[in-house]
């Protein structure tokens, strides 16, 4: 954990893709009553991400940290002797192999959009890149978010903080992002330095926008402002990864509470 003083820390967010050209990062320096977006990197290779991880207190990444345990076990069995779990019924319990405990929890318990399946969707490709990267950074990364890295879901975080969370991605939706960025800038204007140039970048590049949200969620995780892992799902979180979802209304609590609204 990088320390810049008693009241100062850096968090970063990464919108993680399979290729460096589509991987964006954002760094925020936090003080007790204010925060400054200090860096946007719209294209990040592994060497940059390793260097970034060495100077932050918390790194929020928009990519799964693991795979569903039943899926992993099924692959192990199939690789060893060609078998498959006897309890598998394709039309009945496929979702247990497609989705992690955290994916189902986000959708069922919090009524948020269902995350992509790391077992059956293309998001598995950036997940493999992330797994290889973090194996270089640390011998055993805590997958539940308790260590340097926490998994984030930008669309869910936006919804939790009262912003538009659907239909903002892609070149065709720059007008929607313009409104969304304006809303974020106004909501954080008392404590976040978010320049017009940085806002324009987030409008032009939705990966940059998601990396900003990821950096904010990383701060929420550091301050204990994310939903706790249910007791019965803690073991699954350690094996499969866990998505840090900020508490509703917590955006203004990312800096000192006495400053917000002053």
What are the extents of the domains in the chain?
A: 9-66+123-254
Three-state DSSP class for residue 226: strand
Closest to 34 (Cα-Cα) out of 186, 189, 224: 189
Nearest-angstrom CA–CA distance, 10 and 1: 9
Whether residue 262 is predicted with pLDDT greater than 50 in this model: the reply is: no
Give the H/E segment covering residue 133: helix 124-137
| Domain 9-66+123-254 class in CATH | alpha beta
β partners of residue 192: 35
pLDDT tens by residue, 11-34? 999 999 999 999 999 999 999 899
pLDDT tens by residue, 159-172? 999 999 999 999 99
Q: At 133, phi and psi to the nearest 5?
A: -65, -50
Return the pLDDT at 138: 75
pLDDT tens by residue, 170-182? 999 999 999 999 9
Nearest-angstrom CA–CA distance, 212 and 41: 11
Question: Angle 196-204/174-187 helices, nearest 10 degrees?
Answer: 140
* pTM, rounded to two decimals: 0.94
pLDDT tens by residue, 208-248? 999 999 999 999 999 999 999 999 999 999 999 999 999 99
Three-state DSSP class for residue 250: coil
Nearest-angstrom CA–CA distance, 181 and 15: 17
Residue entry with tokens 């319990």: 93
Return the pLDDT at 6: 55
Please give the angle made by the CA atoms of 255, 208 and 227, to the nearest 5 degrees. 45
Whether residue 2 is predicted with pLDDT greater than 90 in this model: the reply is: no
Strand runs labelled E in the chain: 9-15, 24-30, 35-41, 58-61, 149-151, 192-193
């Amino acid at each position: 954990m990088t320390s810049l003083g008693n009241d100062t820390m850096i968090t970063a967010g990464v919108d993680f893709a399979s290729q460096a050209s589509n991987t964006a990062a954002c760094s925020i320096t936090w003080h007790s009553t204010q925060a400054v977006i200090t860096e946007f990197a719209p294209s990040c290779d592994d060497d940059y991400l390793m260097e970034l991880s060495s100077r932050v207190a918390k790194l929020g990444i928009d990519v799964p940290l693991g795979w569903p345990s039943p899926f992993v076990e099924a692959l192990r069995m199939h690789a060893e002797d060609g078998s498959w779990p006897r309890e598998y019924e394709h039309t009945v319990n496929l979702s247990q192999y497609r989705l992690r405990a955290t994916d189902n929890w986000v959708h069922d318990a919090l009524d948020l959009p269902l995350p992509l399946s790391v077992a059956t969707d293309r998001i598995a490709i950036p997940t493999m890149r992330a797994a290889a990267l973090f194996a270089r950074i640390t011998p055993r990364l805590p997958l539940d978010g308790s260590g340097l890295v926490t998994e984030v879901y930008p669309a869910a975080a936006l919804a939790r903080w009262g912003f538009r969370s659907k239909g903002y991605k892609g070149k065709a939706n720059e007008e929607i992002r313009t409104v969304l960025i304006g809303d974020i800038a106004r909501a954080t204007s008392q404590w976040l330095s978010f320049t017009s140039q940085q806002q324009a970048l987030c409008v032009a590049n939705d990966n940059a926008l998601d990396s900003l949200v990821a950096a904010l969620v990383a701060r929420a995780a550091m301050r204990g402002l994310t939903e706790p892992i249910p007791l019965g799902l803690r073991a699954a979180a350690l094996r499969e990864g866990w998505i840090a979802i900020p508490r509703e209304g917590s955006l203004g609590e990312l800096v000192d509470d006495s400053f917000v609204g002053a």
